[in-house]
Amino acid sequence: MKSFGFHCGAINMGTTLLLKTKRGIADTKPIILEAVQDHLNFSYARFLKFENECKEFEKKYKMDSELFLSKFDSGELGDDLQWFDWYASIRGKKLWGKKHQILSEISWSE
């Protein structure tokens, strides 16, 4: 079996992912890089979807998402369904933004 390094992380710190495979780097590298790129594109599309939903809520209710979260968390807004939809959009935006950031920091080193 061959092991190849796949580096994830910032300049001064990182994690190495070892791939144990019988295949060579010429076969392995393009497949992994394609998979990472595909999920990078997918995560960005999901991020944009939730970001656009947040913008629609902000426009509709004339408040930004941070103010909304403060009011929602304090119970000031009540339990109407639209508030939970907005909350879910904010959570989705944060989740997919984080995934996109992590994936964008992956690089291949040999």
- How many Å apart are CA 86 and CA 66, to the nearest integer? 11
Q: Does position 10 have pLDDT exceeding 60, yes or no?
A: no
Distance of CA 74 to the CA centre of its chain: 27
Q: pLDDT digits over 50-86, tens only?
A: 999 999 999 999 999 999 999 999 999 999 999 999 9
Domain range list for the chain: 34-108
Collect all residues with Cβ–Cβ distance below 8 Å to 3 and sequence separation of at least 6. 18, 19, 20
Question: Worst-scoring range by mean pLDDT, 12-21, 81-90, 92-101?
Answer: 12-21
- Is the pTM of the predicted complex or chain greater than 0.85? no
